[in-house]
Amino acid sequence: MARFDGQPILISGAGRGLGEGIAKHLAAEGAIVGIADIHGETALQVAEAIIDDGGRAFSYGADCGKRDEFMQLAADFAKDAGPLRAVINNASVLVYEPIEQVTEETLDTMLSAGLKSVFWGVQAFLAHRDENQQGNILNYSSPVAYRGRPNTGAYTTIKAGIAGLTKVLAGELGPRNIRVNAIAPGSVPTPATEGFVTAEQYEQRAKNIPLRRNGTPQDVAQAAAFLLSDEAAFINGAMLAVDGGIIAAG
């Protein structure tokens, strides 16, 4: 039996990039995956690819930064697949720019997609979880939450907030048999970063990573799968760096 056989797992922002990679990995391990993305067409494409490979998936086009939309898609997924076993709060918007260039519009967009969506994802999970099983919430932080990288003010603020919220939720929801952890993916080329990081910049990043390479979506997917699995049944409130040693080495 696969590790996640028949478990409904909902993933926000899974229409591409790391979310897509995790969705496909979990589906290959037997999960019934809910693909939620503001771009409904890409969510559908990911779900169709999973189904074509013999997996089970449902897609939902929704703005996960809006509470009503997140709650509705979670209700729809629970109806389609059964009570939720886990939610992965992956949605975000990535913008790198000097602090004086941050606009109210950009900040509102990033806070909505990257931070508010985490609150709504947790609420949606609590409303539709399988009360008879240990629950799992997996959030996304980042190495920038631990290092002062220039031009990442908005993004760093959001990811540091998620790191703190993860600890709060681990203590708050642990007594309800819900584990809450986070991963901090390092330098991983994905379609979402193509407009901000060039191939040359990724090459330079690899030279400064202790393992001397950039990460892959599969690296992140395998780490996420571990934290969601029974093998991590006593891990709660952890931040798992999936970064080749960036945080450790400074």
pLDDT attached to residue 198: 84
Task: Please list, residue by residue across 184-218, b when 16 or more beta carbons sit within 10 angstroms of its beta carbon and e when fewer do.
Answer: bbbbbbbebbeeebeeeeeeebbeebeeeebbebe
User: What pTM was estimated for this model as a whole?
Assistant: 0.95
Q: What is the DSSP string of 54-97?
A: T-EEEEEE--TTSHHHHHHHHHHHHHHH-SBSEEEE--------
- Sheet holding 86-89: strands in order across? 56-61, 32-37, 8-12, 86-89, 135-140, 178-185, 239-242
Query: How much is the pLDDT for 12?
Result: 98
pLDDT at 149: 87
Ordered domains of the chain (ranges, CATH): 8-249 (3.40.50.720)
Beta bridge partners of 239: 182
The pLDDT of residue 194 is 72
pLDDT at residue number 189: 84
For residue 137, list its beta bridge partners.
87, 180
Give the HSE-up count for residue 60: Cα atoms under 13 Å, Cβ half-sphere: 25
Query: Cα dist. 77→32, 50, 233 in Å?
Result: 10, 16, 25
- Amino acid identity at 164: G
Taking a C-beta distance cutoff of 8 angstroms, is the pair 244, 178 a contact? no
Q: Could you list the pLDDT tens digit for every one of the 250 residues in the chain?
A: 689 999 999 999 999 999 999 999 999 999 999 999 999 999 999 999 999 999 999 999 999 999 999 999 999 999 999 999 999 999 999 999 999 999 999 999 999 999 999 999 999 999 999 999 999 999 999 999 998 889 999 999 999 999 999 999 999 999 999 999 999 999 888 877 777 788 888 898 888 999 999 999 999 999 999 999 999 999 999 999 999 999 998 7
- Known catalytic residues are 155
3-state helix, strand, coil in the chain (%, to 5): 50, 15, 35
